[in-house]
Amino acid sequence: MKVVAMAVLALAGAAQASVTFNDTVGDVFDSGLTNMDIRSVTMSNDAANLYITLQINANLAATNWGKYLIMIDRNGNASGRGDNPWGRNINTNGRLNDVYIGSWIDQEPDSFAQIWSDNGSNWNLDSTVGVDRSMTAIGEIKYTLSLASLGVGLGDTFYFDVMSTGGVGNPPGVDHLSRSTQATGGWGETSVAGDYLAYTVVPTPGTLALLGLGVVAAGRRRR
């Protein structure tokens, strides 16, 4: 019995782990644009939500005009769109996105993220959720996005990119998580994505603990 209990704890520990995707520091066309420079993106989930933390290379309480985008391809290009609802000058390099999240952090006291999805013929603004700016002084932007709002479920793998951009005109993605090199040469040039990253929505600790208990119960029944 003790062995099974330890296994359940080990599974629970594994399921709680977050995944961090690192990016190059300094891969932006202007070294002064530290608030555009993505250092890493960390993701984790539970049964209800996907949690995303962007780590940016600047104090974002001091320089907060940046916009931050997340593009999600749910199904490996089986559906989706190559353009984006904010008209940003971004080439997805062949990726078709099913979900677009556009966010801003310069609105006090609250900042927002718009969740858009492809409805088959155009982008649809589905919902707007708050953005947690409590750690922006150390460059962190935090999102809690319901799995339902993204159209993904436990066990699903989706593909994604994260970009920084400006707010005026139709600027490019200044930094793309999908690229370790510069994504664009300047404000007036199209940015080009690299290879999208992948995240698998893991079963939750609670789910695994229940599975473990099921194993224990089955063992008891057999005896």
Binding site for Ca ion (CB under 5 A): 23, 27, 37-38, 175, 179
Query: Which is closer to Ca ion, CB of 121 or CB of 181?
Result: 181
- Please answer whether residues 143 and 132 qualify as being in contact, where contact means their C-beta atoms are separated by less than 8 angstroms: yes
Query: Which is closer to Ca ion, CB of 8 or CB of 56?
Result: 56
Which residue sits closest to Ca ion, CB atoms considered? 23
Using DSSP bridges, classify how beta strands 157-165 and 67-73 pair: parallel, antiparallel or unpaired.
Answer: antiparallel
Query: Which is closer to Ca ion, CB of 171 or CB of 212?
Result: 171
Residue 147: Cβ-neighbour burial (10 angstroms; 0-12, 13-18, 19+): middle
- The one-character DSSP state at 204 is P
For the bound state, the minimum distance from the C-beta of residue 94 to Ca ion, rounded and expressed in Å, comes to 18
For the bound state, the minimum distance from the C-beta of residue 142 to Ca ion, rounded and expressed in Å, comes to 18
For the bound state, the minimum distance from the C-beta of residue 157 to Ca ion, rounded and expressed in Å, comes to 22
Question: How far is 144 from 132, CA to CA, in rounded Å?
Answer: 8
Query: Which is closer to Ca ion, CB of 23 or CB of 73?
Result: 23
- Please answer whether residues 122 and 159 qualify as being in contact, where contact means their C-beta atoms are separated by less than 8 angstroms: no
For the bound state, the minimum distance from the C-beta of residue 55 to Ca ion, rounded and expressed in Å, comes to 10
